[in-house]
Amino acid sequence: MRTEPRTILNFLSTYFDIIKELFDIQVKDGLVRMEVLNEVLAEHDHDILNKLIEYKFFKKIQNDYEIRPVYFKMLEFILSEFKPLLPETIEKYEHSITALFKKIKEGISKDRNILLQRITDLNNEVRDFTEAVEKNTIRLISETKELKSNVDKIDYREKVRKASFWIDYYITPLNSILDVGNKNSITNRLLDISEYINVRRLNFEDELARQQFEKLYSFLAQTNDDLLKQSKTLTNELLPLIERIRSESMILTGWIEFLKNPSKSEVPFVPKSLRAYPYNNSMYFNALEYVNEYMTNVEIYLEDPAMSASDKWIFNKDVYMTKLTQELPVKNFFEWAGKTLKSEYKEIETEKFFSLSTLLFEDSIELEFDPTADRQVIRTSEMNLRVPKIKIKRHGLS
C-alpha cells in the first residue's frame, strides 16, 4: 500500500534528530552499519527501523543500511551540507553538455520530437552542472570560514594542510572550469551554446521548438550570471582567504624560528635616533662673556679646608636621575637643577650644578628647547651662568 506523502514528511519531522544523526553517519562512513544504527536508535529510545524501511528511507546492503539518494540529496539540500564533488566529476558535465549540443546542431532539421527531447535533456544537464558548482562553492565557503574562525583551534600545520588541500583539489580546478578567460572552460562552452540558441529562438520555424529554445536561452543566460557569481566568489573571497592562512603560517614559522635565538639573528635595521651636535652661532659671544668675567686678574689665596675623604661630595647620578624621572615632565631643566641643589645644600655650588647638567646626556630622556628663546641666568656660588630653557620629556611622553 502506498504511504501518504504527508505521513512520510511528518515522520521525518518527528524523528528529525535521529534522521540527522543517521545522515551525519553516512556522510562520514559512506553507509550506516547495523550496530551503529542500533546504538543510535537505542540512545533515542525509538525503534523506527521498520518505518525507515517502509518509507524507503533506507536501502539494505547486506547487513548494513544506506540512505537512499533521493532522501540523502534532500537532507544535503535542507541542511546545506553538501559533499564536495571533485572538479573532475563536475567536468564530466562538459562532455555530456557538449555531446548533446553537437547532437542538437546535427539533428536541427530532423525529427522534431527527438530535437525537443534533446533540448530538455540539455536543459537538465546544465541545471545539474550549475547545482553541482553551487553546492561546491557553498561547501568551500563553509570549509574556508571554518578554517578561518578556527573554533576547533587546530594547529597551523593542520590548518595549512587543509587549506592547501582545498586549494589544490577543489578551488583552483573549479576556478579553471569556470574561468571565462580559459578558452576550454565550461563557462565558455555555455556561452557558445547560448549564442547558437539565441539565433534559433528567433527564427526557428517550428513554434514549439522555438518556445523550447527560448526557455533554454533564458535558462542559459541565468546560468551564466550564476556561474560568473560563483567564479567571482572563488576568486575574490576564497583564494585570498586561503592564501592568507598560508601566509600567516609562514610568518608564524618565521617568528617561532626567530624567537628561538633572537640575539643571533639579523633583523631589519631601522636607524636609531640621531642627535645632531652642530656649533651654535652665538658661540663667540658666549666665549667673550666668560673671558670678560675673568679679565680682571685678582690674586686669591684659598686655604684648603681640612677635608676627609668621606666629606668629599660624590655625584650620585642614579639618585638624581630617579628624582628627575619622578618629576617629569620638567619645564626648565636648569631651574630644576638649581632648586634641587638649593633645597639640599642651601646654595648652588658650581661643581654640583655641572654634575647635574650631565643628566642631559642620558638617552632615556628627551630634550626640547627653543634655540631662539632668551637665556636665563643661574647664580651659582662662583659665577653667573647664562643657560637656555630646556624642557625634559620622558621618551614618548609629554
Partner 1 sequence: MDFPRYHKDIVSDLLDGKFILATDAKFIELKNSADFYGKFFKETFEFYLDIKSDYAYLISEETMEMLSRDICIFLGLLCYELDKEGKNFLEEIQYAEFEYDYIDSLLDNSSYIDLIQNNNQLKNSEARRQFFGTLNRRNIIDRSSSDKRFTFTPAYKVFMDFAKNFAKGKLNAAEAEAIEE
Q: Which residues bind partner 1 (CB under 8 A)?
A: 148, 150-151, 153, 156, 244, 247-248, 250-259, 262-263, 265-274, 364, 394-397
- The angle, 0 to 180 degrees and rounded to 10, between the axes of the packed helices 239-260 and 112-149 is 30
Compute the distance between CA of residue 385 and CA of residue 83 in angstroms, rounded to an integer: 86
Smallest distance from the beta carbon of 176 to partner 1, in angstroms? 27
Give the residue with the Cβ less far from partner 1, 202 or 256. 256
Q: Does residue 234 contact residue 140 with C-beta atoms inside 8 Å? A: yes
Smallest distance from the beta carbon of 391 to partner 1, in angstroms? 16
Smallest distance from the beta carbon of 240 to partner 1, in angstroms? 12
Q: Does residue 139 contact residue 236 with C-beta atoms inside 8 Å? A: no
Smallest distance from the beta carbon of 280 to partner 1, in angstroms? 18
Give the residue with the Cβ less far from partner 1, 269 or 279. 269
Long-range contacts of 332-336 (CB under 8 A, 24+ apart): 332/376, 332/389, 332/390, 332/391, 333/359, 333/360, 333/367, 333/389, 333/390, 333/391, 333/392, 334/376, 334/378, 334/385, 334/387, 334/388, 334/389, 334/390, 335/376, 335/378, 335/389, 336/392
Compute the distance between CA of residue 12 and CA of residue 5 in angstroms, rounded to an integer: 11
Residue with cell 646654595: 347
Q: What's the count of helices (H) and strands (E) in the chain, helices before strands?
A: 16, 6
Give the residue with the Cβ less far from partner 1, 251 or 383. 251
Give the residue with the Cβ less far from partner 1, 202 or 328. 328
Give the residue with the Cβ less far from partner 1, 28 or 153. 153
Give the residue with the Cβ less far from partner 1, 28 or 275. 275
Compute the distance between CA of residue 394 and CA of residue 103 in angstroms, rounded to an integer: 84
Give the residue with the Cβ less far from partner 1, 276 or 295. 276
Q: Does residue 353 contact residue 342 with C-beta atoms inside 8 Å? A: no
